[in-house]
Amino acid sequence: MKKTFRHREYCRLNQERQRKLEKKKETDIQDAIAKLQCEIGKLSKKGKAAATATTIWAVVLECSSYFNSYVSSDILHATALTFLHGIMTPDVVIGSEFGVEAQLQIWKLFTFYFDDIHLEMTEMDMSTPHTLVAGTILSVTITSNTLVRAFPHLTNVGSGGTKGDKWSPLANRLLGQKLVMRGSALFGWNSAINKVERLDFHADMMTPVTKLLGNVPDVAYVFSKAHVTPDCRFIRDGLINI
């Protein structure tokens, strides 16, 4: 009788242990599934972020390459608007302006004001999933067109200037000089349609001009009535129509 009782008790305890083990296994499996789903979600987000980064990096590099080709050849002028429409939203924010045409106008002004223009993208950083900031090096050469169109107050001096052969001493010191400007370009990205929805560019023009002229008063006068700002933005009021 006692043996039978012990046997039944042993079977009961054994079954209880089995149930606990099975329950633990089930819990462990559920935990593993939950962790796996979490990892899949993380990987999916990383994959989407990586795809976004790859796409916007490619667009940024393509844009800088097209800009360099545009400013060095008249052949691409006719296709520039089509290209920009292909990578930008119709209402893209360009600094304080809007629209693809505003960006094209900036490209035109570079060719109108400067010579030997070249833009280089340096380091690029995705500060947010929808924002890329690229370091830039912009080089331009100051020509007679630059002085007449961007710094007219330096050329309209006495009987010289645009109608004579005598410009201001500051104009003569700037003429023919190459400016190398460091700056940055911020690209806002619309991942739903894979297009740029914001572009804000600036370049430090003041530093190389200061190195050329050697003193702050002269630099201040150069930019006082200029049609380009010290951070290389074009002033719309008073611009020569092109």
Mean pLDDT of 49-62: 68
Residue pair 88/196 in contact by the 8 Å Cβ criterion? yes
Q: Which two tokens stand for residue 78?
A: 């006719």
Q: How far apart are CA 155 and CA 209, in angstroms?
A: 17
Residue at token pair 């690029």: 124
Given a cut of 50, is residue 43 above it in pLDDT?
A: no
The predicted pLDDT at position 35 comes to 59
pLDDT band at 7 (very low <50, low <70, confident <90, very high): low
pTM for the model stands at 0.71
The predicted pLDDT at position 46 comes to 46
The predicted pLDDT at position 159 comes to 47
pLDDT band at 50 (very low <50, low <70, confident <90, very high): very low
Q: How far apart are CA 18 and CA 164, in angstroms?
A: 105
Tens of pLDDT, residue by residue over 100-134, are 999 999 998 999 899 999 999 888 888 787 899 99
Q: How far apart are CA 213 and CA 153, in angstroms?
A: 16
Q: What are the extents of the domains in the chain?
A: 2-142+177-203
Q: How far apart are CA 159 and CA 167, in angstroms?
A: 9
End-to-end Cα, the chain, rounded Å: 112
**Would you report the helix, strand and coil content of the chain in percent, each value rounded to 5?**
55, 25, 20
Mean pLDDT of 52-56: 62
Tens of pLDDT, residue by residue over 161-216, are 445 557 889 999 999 999 999 999 999 999 888 899 999 999 999 999 999 999 99
Cα angle vertex 91, ends 88, 92, to 5°? 45
CATH fold label, 2-142+177-203: Nuclear Transport Factor 2; Chain: A, (3.10.450)
Alpha helices (H) along 73-154: 77-87, 100-113, 144-150
